C-alpha cells in the first residue's frame, strides 16, 4: 500500500530519494507501524465485544501449558496489546463503547 505514492509521484527507486522526502512531497502522514497498531487495537475491541465462547476469543485468551524455555520470554500478543493500551492511555474496559473506542485508538 505504501508504494503507491512512489509511482503516483513518478519517482523511481533508481532516483535514490529518501522515503522522508517522498512523504513530504506527497503529504503522507503517519507510518505503517501506526497503521498496524491501530488495526491491532480495532481487532482487540472487536474480539472483546464478541459473544462468549467464540473461537477468536478462545484463541486470544489461550496460553501455552507448561514452562517456557530459558532466557528472556518472547512477548505474547496480549502483552503487546496491553503495551499499546498503555501508550494510548486506554483502559481494558474502554472497548465496551464502540464509538468512543474507535475515536481513542486513532
Host domain of residue 92: 32-63+74-105
A 10 A CB-CB count for 88 gives 14
Indicate whether 26 and 42 sit together in one domain: no
Interval 54-104: pLDDT, tens: 988 888 878 778 887 888 878 888 888 999 999 888 888 888 888 888 888
Terminal CA-CA length for the chain: 19
C-alpha cell, 85: 493500551
Nearest to 101 by CA among 57, 50, 49: 49
What's the confidence (pLDDT) of residue 8?
Answer: 65
% of the chain residues with pLDDT over 70: 92
Cα gap 71→101, rounded to integer Å: 36
What's the confidence (pLDDT) of residue 39?
Answer: 92
- Whether the predicted model's global pTM rises above the 0.85 cut: no
Within a domain: 69: no
Indicate whether 88 and 58 sit together in one domain: yes
C-alpha cell, 50: 464478541
Indicate whether 56 and 101 sit together in one domain: yes
Amino acid at each position: 500500500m505504501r508504494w503507491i505514492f512512489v509511482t503516483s509521484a513518478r519517482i523511481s527507486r533508481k532516483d535514490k530519494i529518501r522515503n522522508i522526502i517522498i512523504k513530504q512531497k506527497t503529504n503522507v502522514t503517519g507510518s505503517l507501524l501506526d497503521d498496524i497498531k491501530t488495526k491491532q487495537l480495532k481487532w482487540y475491541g472487536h474480539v472483546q465485544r464478541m459473544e462468549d465462547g467464540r473461537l477468536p476469543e478462545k484463541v486470544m485468551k489461550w496460553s501455552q501449558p507448561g514452562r517456557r524455555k530459558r532466557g528472556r520470554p518472547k512477548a505474547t500478543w496480549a502483552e503487546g496489546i496491553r503495551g499499546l493500551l498503555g501508550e494510548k492511555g486506554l483502559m481494558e474496559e474502554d472497548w465496551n463503547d464502540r464509538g468512543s473506542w474507535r475515536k481513542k485508538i486513532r
